[in-house]
C-alpha cells in the first residue's frame, strides 16, 4: 500500500527485532522479545500485529534511529513505560514521564473500592491527592461521569502530564489543582479522598532496584520511616471529609498497622485494610468518626 522504503540502508522488521532482542537480552531484560516488539511498533508507528504479519517489510532510517535510541535507553535500565511514554492503568492508555510515578496494578484495586462507595448518579465530590499521571482521578472520572473529580499534585510537571491524559481521554469533569496535599482547598468538603502517596523509607534498599531509581523521589520517598506523607494526609482528612465521606490511602505491605494507628489518632474510624493480588496489605480505608 505505502511506497516502498528506500532499499538501502533499510533493514527488515525481522532483522531489527532480532538485533533489538539481542541487545535487551545482553542487558538482562527479562521480557526482551516482547519489549523489542513494543519498542519497534512505537518507533515505526505500527501495530505489534503488523510486525508479526510482515517481517520482511523494510524500516526507514529515521524510524530505525528512533528504535536504536529506545533500545539503548531500555538497555541502560530505564523503565519501559518511560521509553514508550505510556502505561496502561485499568485499561486506560496513560502518558507517563519521569515526572510521574509509573501507575501500578495494585492501585487499580483502590479504584475498584472507591467506585463502590457512593451511588454512581449521586453528586459526589472526590479528590485524588498526588495524582501524578492522573491515573486514579481518570479511572474514577471515566466510570463516574456524574462525580466531580479533583486531581491535586504539588508538581507542575506531573500536572502537565495529567492534563495531557485528561485531554486525550476526554475527562472534562476533572479539575487539576497544584497543591501540597489538601491545603489550598480548605473550604471544600469531599465525599471521597483517595491517595497513592509516597510511602517508601529513605534508606529502603528497594529504591535501588527495578524501575524505582528512575522514578521521581518525591513520588516514592516519605521520610525515614516512609510514613511522613501519610501522617500529613491523615491530619487533614477529618476537616475535609463530609459526614458520610470516606478515604483510602495506599501504603507499603508492612505499613498496615502503622497506618491504622495514624488514622485512628487523627480521629478517623477504620473501615478496613485491603490486600493486593499478592496477598499483601496495600491500602487502608477509613471514614469520619460518627460523633
Instruction: Note whether 158 binds ligand GLN by CB under 6 A.
Output: no
Instruction: Note whether 132 binds ligand GLN by CB under 6 A.
Output: no
- Beta-bridged to residue 177, according to DSSP, are 152
Q: Which of 117, 133, 179, 196 binds ligand GLN (CB under 6 A)?
A: 196
- For residue 249, which of 110, 65, 96 has the smallest C-alpha distance? 110
**Which residues, in sequence order, are CB contacts of 213 under 8 Å at separation 6+?**
77, 207
Least separation in angstroms between residue 286's CB and ligand GLN is 18
Q: What DSSP letter does each residue of 73-121 carry, written as one string?
A: HHHTT--HHHHHTEEEETTEEEE--TTSPPP-THHHHHHHHHHTSS-TT
Least separation in angstroms between residue 193's CB and ligand GLN is 16
**Which residues, in sequence order, are CB contacts of 199 under 8 Å at separation 6+?**
222, 226, 227, 229, 230, 250, 251, 252, 255
Q: Which is nearer to ligand GLN, 70 or 162 (CB)?
A: 162
Which residues in 78-117 contact ligand GLN (CB under 6 A)? 104
Q: Which of 147, 181, 199, 283 binds ligand GLN (CB under 6 A)?
A: 199
Instruction: Determine the interface stretch with ligand GLN among 29-37, 69-77, 121-129, 194-202 (rule: CB under 6 A).
Output: 194-202
Least separation in angstroms between residue 77's CB and ligand GLN is 15
Distance CA 271, CA 275 (A): 13
- For residue 69, which of 33, 115, 16 has the smallest C-alpha distance? 16
Instruction: Determine the interface stretch with ligand GLN among 156-164, 191-199, 240-248, 261-269 (rule: CB under 6 A).
Output: 191-199
Least separation in angstroms between residue 60's CB and ligand GLN is 38
Q: Which of 96, 137, 138, 200 binds ligand GLN (CB under 6 A)?
A: 200
Binding mask 221-260 for ligand GLN (x = CB under 6 A): -----------------------------x----------
Instruction: Note whether 165 binds ligand GLN by CB under 6 A.
Output: no
Instruction: Determine the interface stretch with ligand GLN among 56-64, 68-76, 146-154, 198-206 (rule: CB under 6 A).
Output: 198-206
- Beta-bridged to residue 281, according to DSSP, are 275
Instruction: Note whether 220 binds ligand GLN by CB under 6 A.
Output: yes
- Cα→Cα distances 201→79, 106, 145, 153, 254, Å: 21, 19, 37, 20, 12
Instruction: Note whether 195 binds ligand GLN by CB under 6 A.
Output: no
CB atoms within 10 A of CB 258: 17
Instruction: Note whether 147 binds ligand GLN by CB under 6 A.
Output: no
User: Is the separation of the CB atoms in 126 and 147 below 8 Å?
Assistant: yes
Q: What is the 3-state secondary structure (H, E, C) of 179-240?
A: CCCCHHHCCCCEEEEEECCCCECCCCHHHHCCCHHHCCHHHHECCCCCCHHHHHHHHHHHHH
Instruction: Note whether 275 binds ligand GLN by CB under 6 A.
Output: no
Least separation in angstroms between residue 212's CB and ligand GLN is 6
Instruction: Note whether 126 binds ligand GLN by CB under 6 A.
Output: no
Binding footprint of ligand GLN on the chain (CB under 6 A): 104, 196, 198-200, 212, 220, 250
Amino acid at each position: 500500500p505505502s511506497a516502498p522504503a528506500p532499499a538501502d540502508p533499510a533493514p527488515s522488521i525481522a532483522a531489527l527485532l532480532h538485533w533489538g532482542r539481542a541487545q535487551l537480552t545482553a542487558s538482562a531484560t527479562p521480557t526482551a522479545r516482547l519489549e523489542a516488539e513494543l519498542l519497534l511498533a512505537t518507533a515505526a508507528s505500527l501495530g505489534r500485529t503488523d510486525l508479526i504479519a510482515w517481517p520482511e517489510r523494510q524500516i526507514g532510517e529515521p524510524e530505525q534511529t528512533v528504535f536504536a535510541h529506545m533500545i539503548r535507553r531500555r538497555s541502560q535500565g530505564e523503565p519501559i513505560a518511560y521509553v514508550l511514554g505510556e502505561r496502561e492503568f485499568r485499561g486506560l492508555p496513560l502518558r507517563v514521564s519521569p515526572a510521574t510515578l509509573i501507575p501500578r496494578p495494585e492501585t487499580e484495586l483502590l479504584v475498584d473500592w472507591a467506585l463502590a462507595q457512593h451511588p454512581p448518579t449521586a453528586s459526589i465530590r472526590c479528590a485524588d491527592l498526588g495524582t501524578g499521571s492522573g491515573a486514579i482521578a481518570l479511572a474514577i472520572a471515566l466510570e463516574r461521569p456524574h462525580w466531580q473529580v479533583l486531581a491535586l499534585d504539588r508538581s507542575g510537571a506531573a500536572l502537565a502530564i495529567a492534563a495531557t491524559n485528561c485531554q486525550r481521554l476526554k475527562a472534562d469533569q476533572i479539575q487539576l489543582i497544584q497543591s501540597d496535599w489538601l491545603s489550598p482547598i480548605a473550604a471544600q468538603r469531599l465525599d471521597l479522598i483517595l491517595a497513592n502517596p509516597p510511602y517508601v523509607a529513605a534508606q529502603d534498599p528497594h529504591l535501588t532496584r527495578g524501575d524505582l531509581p528512575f522514578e521521581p523521589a518525591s513520588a516514592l520517598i516519605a521520610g525515614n520511616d516512609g510514613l511522613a506523607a501519610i501522617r500529613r494526609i491523615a491530619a487533614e482528612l477529618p476537616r475535609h471529609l463530609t459526614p458520610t465521606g470516606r478515604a483510602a490511602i495506599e501504603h507499603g505491605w508492612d505499613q498496615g498497622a502503622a497506618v491504622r494507628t495514624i488514622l485512628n489518632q487523627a480521629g478517623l474510624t477504620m473501615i478496613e485494610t485491603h490486600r493486593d493480588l499478592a496477598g499483601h496489605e496495600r491500602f487502608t480505608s477509613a471514614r469520619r468518626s460518627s460523633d
